[in-house]
């Protein structure tokens, strides 16, 4: 008897308890829906309501099933109770009621519910469907719909424009437009969510966080806001706030495709790759998105992070077939072998483009400007703007140069903002000023240099010289014209700095500068030496159309005043000790 009891106890420990809660029954209901088992889905949704009777979403799902089963009156009874007793903010219930009334051929009641939806709903989730229903009601009632205004249309055109600006990476313009929309229509939550993202892309983290907080104050369950907030907390390494939010999102099973996609990508970014995979798989079963290469890439990334390498390979191959011109699939397929072997970790980015570092390498190898598709890519642009605010010194130098090659109005605004930041290094700000001048900004610039508010006029260089002669400018322009294709912007700026230093030290006894090309060639020669680039007097004299003797004479004069060789010896003693001209 004792042996039987002990065996029973041992067997008991092997039983895995099932957690009976609303989420469990919700998932069962969704599974039944996918199989068109409406009776089972209704039963499971009812059980979800029993566990969470105060959750209006569960009631709304039950109403949806009743509608699918043809029980329109029962569906409307639940929907009416939701908006009258549980959550008046769930304005979509009025649209669902309008559908039910239309199916019952109660067109007057359908019109009343539809008008109430359009006049109260600020999100506009069912605008297209509502317009189709209005056409039906117009035909059946033989008159136009009695509609005063559509709340969701307030600022809708401007919002679409702002979203387009965000997609093009024009964040400053998008922010201006979105701020204006939100000021006029405080309840336009989609605009607030996009404004928070625009702030985030620009590196304005505190503003992004505050804006998301405003959305959640108005609608605590807004899924887009909750997903964005989780990503913001992850960026801030705030695990205390992040953990319960991730747990909440992990229990969420969205019904609409847009929400499924948002949650899937968010869980992937948060490192919850199993959850991301589950949601992406739901999307792949939908025939309307099966031709989207991006979705196959996202699912493959999730697979590679949970060890489903064969499936990841199959998905990336499919993405490559759907988008043969893209290099994304082939890059990640090459990386997959290393992931399998444990040589490097699985990719963490769910964005459908090459990793930023890879794109930067391709750009650095190219002799041309940044390709147009990269200039327009909002993720690349946001990486630049983010790094300009939060990167280390070397990264900021790279980014300032890259922005100089993009050279649009957004870039000019970002660099103007950068040069007035008191905490940024003066050298970086001077590079930014040089870039602004090189991309055609000729008006006066406001900057903070050496801790002082400074106005830099176009007619003079950023120096303390009381004058700036035309011949001095001619030397500079002669050098920069020939260096443009062979030296980066930092090196060009260092040439400018060297020229200003020389002139400042010898002023007012500046040489007459009879041979402009000789001085320009000498500046390039010395700049190349400072950056340890191979160059000779012969090479540079030929390019500038002057003699070796002239270049040598001018270079020695600049070196005497500025001490270039001495500085190089101090910085690189081992290299300069063996140097011979």
Q: Which residues contact 150 (CB under 8 A, 6 or more apart)?
A: 118, 119, 124, 127
- CA 221 – CA 265 distance, rounded (Å): 18
Please report the DSSP string for 364-400 in residue order: HH-SSPPPHHHHH-HHHHHHHHHHHHHS-HHHHHHHH
Residue 248 and residue 303 in one domain: yes
Q: What is the largest CA-CA distance in the chain?
A: 114
- Smallest Cα–Cα separation from 301: which of 271, 321, 259? 271
Residue 271 and residue 315 in one domain: yes
Total tally of structural domains belonging to the chain:
4
Q: Which residues contact 108 (CB under 8 A, 6 or more apart)?
A: 141
Residue 85 and residue 204 in one domain: no
Token readout for 14 is: 């092997």
Query: What local confidence, expressed as pLDDT, does residue 459 receive?
Result: 53
List b or e across 458-470, with b for residues whose CB sees 16 or more CB atoms inside 10 angstroms: eeebbbeeeeeee
Q: Does the CA dihedral 306-307-313-315 come out positive or negative?
A: negative
Residue 192 three-state SS: helix
* Residue 237 domain flag: yes
* Residue 494 domain flag: yes
List b or e across 364-403, with b for residues whose CB sees 16 or more CB atoms inside 10 angstroms: eeeeeebeeebbebbbbbbbbbbbbbebeeeebbbbbbbb
* Residue 346 domain flag: no
Query: What local confidence, expressed as pLDDT, does residue 575 receive?
Result: 35
- CA 538 – CA 552 distance, rounded (Å): 10
* Residue 507 domain flag: yes
Residue 396 and residue 303 in one domain: no
Query: What local confidence, expressed as pLDDT, does residue 15 receive?
Result: 46
Residue 39 and residue 83 in one domain: yes
Query: What local confidence, expressed as pLDDT, does residue 192 receive?
Result: 92
Query: What local confidence, expressed as pLDDT, does residue 102 receive?
Result: 92
Helices (H) and strands (E) counted in the chain, each on its own, are 32, 2
Domain residues for the domain of 432 are 366-456
Taking CB atoms within 8 Å and a gap of at least 24, the contacts of 369-373 are 369/405, 370/402, 370/405, 370/406
* Residue 435 domain flag: yes
Query: What local confidence, expressed as pLDDT, does residue 31 receive?
Result: 73
* Residue 463 domain flag: no
CATH of the domain at 235: 1.25.40.10
Residue 447 three-state SS: strand
- CA 554 – CA 480 distance, rounded (Å): 17
CB 154 within 8 A of CB 132: no
What is residue 222's DSSP assignment? -
CB 277 within 8 A of CB 350: no
Q: How many CA atoms lie within 13 A of 177 on its CB side?
A: 20
Query: What local confidence, expressed as pLDDT, does residue 470 receive?
Result: 80
* Residue 327 domain flag: yes
Residue 565 and residue 432 in one domain: no
Q: Does the CA dihedral 205-361-363-421 come out positive or negative?
A: positive
Residue 503 and residue 537 in one domain: yes
Residue 523 and residue 559 in one domain: yes
Residue 441 and residue 334 in one domain: no
CB 419 within 8 A of CB 453: no
Residue 183 and residue 237 in one domain: yes
Residue by residue, pLDDT tens for the chain (581 residues) are 444 444 444 444 444 444 565 677 667 767 766 667 777 777 777 777 777 777 888 788 888 888 888 899 999 998 999 988 888 888 899 999 999 999 999 999 999 998 888 888 877 788 888 888 988 888 888 888 777 666 666 667 678 888 888 877 778 888 888 998 888 888 888 899 999 988 888 778 889 999 999 999 998 888 999 999 998 888 888 889 999 999 999 888 887 888 888 899 899 988 899 999 999 988 888 756 567 788 898 899 999 899 898 998 999 898 888 888 777 888 888 888 888 877 778 877 777 665 555 555 555 555 455 556 556 666 667 667 777 777 777 778 777 877 777 777 878 888 888 888 888 888 788 888 878 877 778 788 888 887 888 777 765 555 666 667 788 888 888 888 888 778 877 788 888 888 888 888 888 888 888 788 999 999 999 988 888 888 899 999 998 999 999 999 999 999 888 887 776 654 433 333 333 33
- Smallest Cα–Cα separation from 501: which of 463, 454, 460? 463
Residue 474 and residue 452 in one domain: no
Residue 530 and residue 568 in one domain: yes
* Residue 361 domain flag: no
Angle between helices 189-201 and 378-390 (to 10 degrees): 60
* Listed residues 306, 341, 376: the one ending a domain: 341
Token readout for 133 is: 């229903």
Token readout for 490 is: 């930092």
Q: Do the strands 445-449 and 452-456 form a parallel or antiparallel pair, or are they unpaired?
A: antiparallel
């Amino acid at each position: 008897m004792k042996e039987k009891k002990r065996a029973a106890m041992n067997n008991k420990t092997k039983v895995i308890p099932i957690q009976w809660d609303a989420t469990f029954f919700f998932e069962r209901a969704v599974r039944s829906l996918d199989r068109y088992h409406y009776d089972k889905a209704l039963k499971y949704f009812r059980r979800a309501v029993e566990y969470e009777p105060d959750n209006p979403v569960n009631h709304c799902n039950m109403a949806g099933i009743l509608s699918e089963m043809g029980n329109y009156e029962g569906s409307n009874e639940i929907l009416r109770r939701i908006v009258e007793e549980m959550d008046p903010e769930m304005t979509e219930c009025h649209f669902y009621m309008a559908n039910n009334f239309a199916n019952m051929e109660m067109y007057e009641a359908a019109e009343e519910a539809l008008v109430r939806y359009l006049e109260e709903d600020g999100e506009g989730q069912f605008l297209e469907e509502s317009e189709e229903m209005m056409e039906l009601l117009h035909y059946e009632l033989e008159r136009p719909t009695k509609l005063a205004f559509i709340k969701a249309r307030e600022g809708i055109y401007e919002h679409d424009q702002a979203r387009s600006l965000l997609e093009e990476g024009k964040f400053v313009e998008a922010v201006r437009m979105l701020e204006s929309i939100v000021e006029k229509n405080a309840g336009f939550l989609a605009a607030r969510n996009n404004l928070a993202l625009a702030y985030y892309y620009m590196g304005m983290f505190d503003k992004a966080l505050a804006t998301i907080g405003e959305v959640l104050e108005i609608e605590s369950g807004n899924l887009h806001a909750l997903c964005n907030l989780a990503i913001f907390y992850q960026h801030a390494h705030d695990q205390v706030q992040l953990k319960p939010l991730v747990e909440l999102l992990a229990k969420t099973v969205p019904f609409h495709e847009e929400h499924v996609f948002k949650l899937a990508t968010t869980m992937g970014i948060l490192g919850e790759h199993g959850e991301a995979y589950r949601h992406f798989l739901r999307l792949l079963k939908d025939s309307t998105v099966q031709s989207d290469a991006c979705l196959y890439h996202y699912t493959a990334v999730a697979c590679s992070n949970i060890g489903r390498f064969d499936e990841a390979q199959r998905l990336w191959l499919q993405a490559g077939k759907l988008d043969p011109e893209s290099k994304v699939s082939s890059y990640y397929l090459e990386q997959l072998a290393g992931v399998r072997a444990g040589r490097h970790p699985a990719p963490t980015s769910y964005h459908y483009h090459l990793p930023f570092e890879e794109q930067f390498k391709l750009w650095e190898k190219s002799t041309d400007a940044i390709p147009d598709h990269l200039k327009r890519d909002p993720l690349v642009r946001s990486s630049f703007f983010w790094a300009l605010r939060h990167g280390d010194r070397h990264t900021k130098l790279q980014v300032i140069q890259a922005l100089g090659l993009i050279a649009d109005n957004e870039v000019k605004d970002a660099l103007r903002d950068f040069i007035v930041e008191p905490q940024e290094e003066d050298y970086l700000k001077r590079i930014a000023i040089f870039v602004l001048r090189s991309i055609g900004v000729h008006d006066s610039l406001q900057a903070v240099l050496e801790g002082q508010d400074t106005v830099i006029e176009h007619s003079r260089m950023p120096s303390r010289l009381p004058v700036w002669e035309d011949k001095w400018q001619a030397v500079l322009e002669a050098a920069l014209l020939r260096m443009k294709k062979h030296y980066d912007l930092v090196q060009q700026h260092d040439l400018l700095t060297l020229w200003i230093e020389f002139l400042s030290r010898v002023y007012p006894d500046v040489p007459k500068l009879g041979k402009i090309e000789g001085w320009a060639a000498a500046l390039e020669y010395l700049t190349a030496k400072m950056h340890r680039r191979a160059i000779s007097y012969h090479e540079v004299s030929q390019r500038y159309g002057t003699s070796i003797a002239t270049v040598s004479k001018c270079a020695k004069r600049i070196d005497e005043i500025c001490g270039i060789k001495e500085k190089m010896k101090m910085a690189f003693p081992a290299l300069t000790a063996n140097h011979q001209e």
